[in-house]
Chain A
Amino acid sequence: MTQPVRRLVAATLLLALLAVSVASRGQQSPSPEAPFTAWLMNNEARTMGILANDRLALERLSQPFGLLGTASLPPAPAERDLWSIHLQYYRFLPEAVEIARLARRFGSGVFARVFDQALPGTWVTMPMMGVPAFNARELAYPLNNLFREALLASIGVDKNRDADLSERLKRGQQDINADHRRLLSQHLETFLALYPNARQVRALDGFLRNGMKKSTAQGVASALGLNTGSASDTVFEFENATEPDAAPKPADTDPGTMPADLFDILK
């Protein structure tokens, strides 16, 4: 294949990728973590409702003697600490999914080559390299970089944020201490035992346990025109389960723990 034809094919591929990227942003497809967070939130909501009612009963049993009527101590419900930990998960999991998606999309070395060949900036600035006047040669490189950054921004990539996805993953996790990360892992394990066919949650669990391959992070950095990838050299499995899961079917469990509809609690 000649060089121009190769470039034309590469450009077509890139434009198709851009079109798919923009189109997919408009859709509200369920996030891979949604079944897990729905399950956890529903369990929380059920517990909150029960505790609110039970505390009324607790209050009515707290004064056995009518003569000695004292006000109860102000409430200090300890379960709020647990809900705060879960809140960290609800913030972190979409971030982890986003990182995994970026890694899957840009972690391939093939994509980096296509990207370099098809970058419109390269085509525009290449003729300028041969122009000796008007500082065209000096302007060519910054112009090319601007093109690159504008293109990355258009497909939702921030050069500073995403240059090292392993670092971004670490940053996302920094508010969650080791004990709380272990709890998340145990909750995921429980969820997967209850709903073994939730493949996307299983893939997410694998991603959180194993991190990314070094080559994946380097591929992303390369695609972004940087070389700062420092991911651990471990297995990255998220790309193995990309299709959205159907509503997970539970094992032999109480059906109340996983609503088909997250707002079932309101019915």
Chain B
Amino acid sequence: MAGAPGSPLARIVLLALYTLALTVPVSALPLAYRLKVGSTYSYEIVQRSTSEVSSNEIRSSHPQERTTKLEVLVLAFRDGVYVLDILSGDRRIRRYMRPNGAVVASPSEPGTELPFFAVFPEGDAVTGKPWKQTTSFPLGKGTVPASWETTLTGLDGSKKKATVTVTGSVTLPSDRVISRSLQSRGTLVLNLETGCPDRADWTVSYELTYANKEIAVTRDLWSVRETRSSSCKLTGVKP
């Protein structure tokens, strides 16, 4: 039989698969911050937000934009944890962060206010293979599940910069009247030589739709949309 193992056709198929496996670029490398103790990393951050509401033909929008400078001072590294002072305008926070981006402590931010951070995959990150982390947020009287998916999406030609994509979501409860969604998406370009991000962009989108439903008719009352986006660019490293 032509398709049996050892047959000429099976050999051709195996050879084709082997060739294909060699030509598809699959990279695996450890992703981690490698910051220099005593250095200050400066970033310029452009933040934009839009809050929109609509009710039938009435629409209102409140766009905002702000450009700020961010400085990250690497104070120490001990027991696999960086001690960072992060300065932005009048705000100064101290975070204790692992090389994979996990914040283990932040004395000036209470637990309920501490953001849910995306972290790099454990071990070697494989291109295109998402790595998922989950948690739950308190919301009203209960909790809601939240997740980040981190994926190494590519390496540049010189293999000095890795692009990491993060996709976050919070599953908000919906019913017949109210539907809500909360999602986030971003990319980070990590310089593998310097161990710090060259660039990072992310956008968080939220939507609430309030509609009254009769037997077969939906009557929209109003909807609220909110979008927040940030764009960070490394402007210098001292010393």
Q: Which of B70, B144, B221 contacts A70 (CB 8 A)?
A: B70
Q: Produce 1/0 per residue, B33-66, CB < 8 A to A.
A: 1000000000101010101110111101110101
Check A65–B188 contact: CB distance below 8 A. yes
Given known A-B contacts A47-B224, A70-B70, A82-B53, A65 and B215 have beta carbons under 8 A apart:
no
Q: Which of B49, B114, B139 contacts A76 (CB 8 A)?
A: B49
CA distance A11 to B204 in the complex (A): 73
Q: Is B170 an interface residue (CB 8 A)?
A: yes
Q: Which one of A20-28, A51-59, A208-216 is at the B interface? A: A51-59
Chain B residues in 8 Å Cβ range of A74: 64
Nearest CB of chain B from residue A267's CB, rounded to whole Å: 13
Q: Is B200 an interface residue (CB 8 A)?
A: yes
Chain B residues in 8 Å Cβ range of A76: 49, 51, 62, 64
Given known A-B contacts A70-B70, A252-B215, A78 and B52 have beta carbons under 8 A apart:
yes
Nearest CB of chain B from residue A87's CB, rounded to whole Å: 14
Most buried by B among A79, A180, A190: A79
Number of B residues whose C-beta is below 8 Å from A? 78
Check A73–B208 contact: CB distance below 8 A. no
Nearest CB of chain B from residue A259's CB, rounded to whole Å: 13
Check B53–A81 contact: CB distance below 8 A. yes
Q: Which of A53, A72, A254 contacts B175 (CB 8 A)?
A: A254
Number of A residues whose C-beta is below 8 Å from B? 51
Nearest CB of chain A from residue B239's CB, rounded to whole Å: 19
Chain B residues in 8 Å Cβ range of A51: 208, 224
CB contacts between A and B, total, < 8 Å? 192
Check A68–B45 contact: CB distance below 8 A. yes
Check A60–B116 contact: CB distance below 8 A. yes
Q: Is B125 an interface residue (CB 8 A)?
A: no
Check B232–A61 contact: CB distance below 8 A. no
Q: Which one of B3-11, B14-22, B95-103, B155-163 is at the A interface? A: B95-103
Q: Which of A43, A53, A71, A193 contacts B210 (CB 8 A)?
A: A43
Most buried by B among A61, A73, A182, A256: A61
Q: Which of A54, A60, A64, A81 contacts B208 (CB 8 A)?
A: A54
Chain A residues in 8 Å Cβ range of B68: 70
Chain B residues in 8 Å Cβ range of A70: 45, 47, 68, 70, 88, 91, 230
Nearest CB of chain B from residue A85's CB, rounded to whole Å: 7
Q: Which of B58, B113, B200, B226 contacts A82 (CB 8 A)?
A: B58
Check B53–A65 contact: CB distance below 8 A. no
Most buried by B among A55, A182, A190: A190
- Can you identify 23 A-B contacts, CB atoms within 8 angstroms? A49-B140, A53-B140, A57-B137, A57-B139, A60-B114, A62-B115, A64-B166, A64-B168, A65-B117, A67-B86, A67-B97, A69-B88, A69-B95, A74-B64, A76-B62, A82-B55, A82-B60, A182-B56, A183-B57, A187-B221, A190-B219, A251-B215, A256-B177
Sort A-B residue pairs by CB-CB distance and give the 7 closest, nearest first: A76-B62, A81-B60, A63-B115, A78-B51, A66-B103, A78-B53, A66-B117
Residues of A within 8 A of B (CB): 43, 46-47, 49-51, 53-79, 81-82, 85, 179-180, 182-183, 186-187, 190, 193-194, 251-254, 256-257
Taking A57-B172, A67-B72, A73-B66 as known contacts, 19 extra A-B pairs with beta carbons closer than 8 A to each other, sorted by chain A number, are A47-B208, A47-B210, A50-B180, A50-B208, A55-B206, A60-B115, A61-B182, A67-B97, A72-B47, A76-B49, A76-B62, A77-B62, A78-B62, A82-B60, A82-B222, A179-B57, A193-B217, A251-B214, A257-B212
